[in-house]
Amino acid sequence: MEWISDPTAWSALAALLTLEIVLGVDNVVFISILPSKLPVEEQDKARKIGLLAAGGTRVLLLLAVGWVISLKKKCFLLVRWALVEKI
């Protein structure tokens, strides 16, 4: 629980939340405009599926980023960056 008093963790969380809000609004706008090209009876279904897919993808990507951050051991070097594996 040391992260609670760490200002770096709080600033990273604020940056992540800001990005999520901006990208979420962008998804809502895009997904609400795009189905208007479909027939009227299919528009509502397309919006729901699009929002669920966008939200699900965002959650999966955040989980993947969290997993990568938790890795400890180097797997391989790509240019000068190392990808690490969990011990």
Q: Are 74 and 83 in contact (CB under 8 A)?
A: yes
Q: Which residues pair with 82 in a beta bridge?
A: 77
pLDDT at 85 over 60: no
* Predicted TM-score of the model (pTM): 0.61
Helix pair angle (40-70, 7-33), 10° resolution = 160
Q: Where are the chain's structural domains?
A: 2-85
Residues 6+ apart with CB under 8 A from 63: none
For the stretch 16-64, pLDDT in tens is 889 888 888 888 888 888 888 899 999 999 999 998 998 899 889 888 8
Q: Which residues pair with 85 in a beta bridge?
A: 73
Secondary element (H or E) of residue 81 = strand 81-85
pLDDT recorded at residue 40? 92
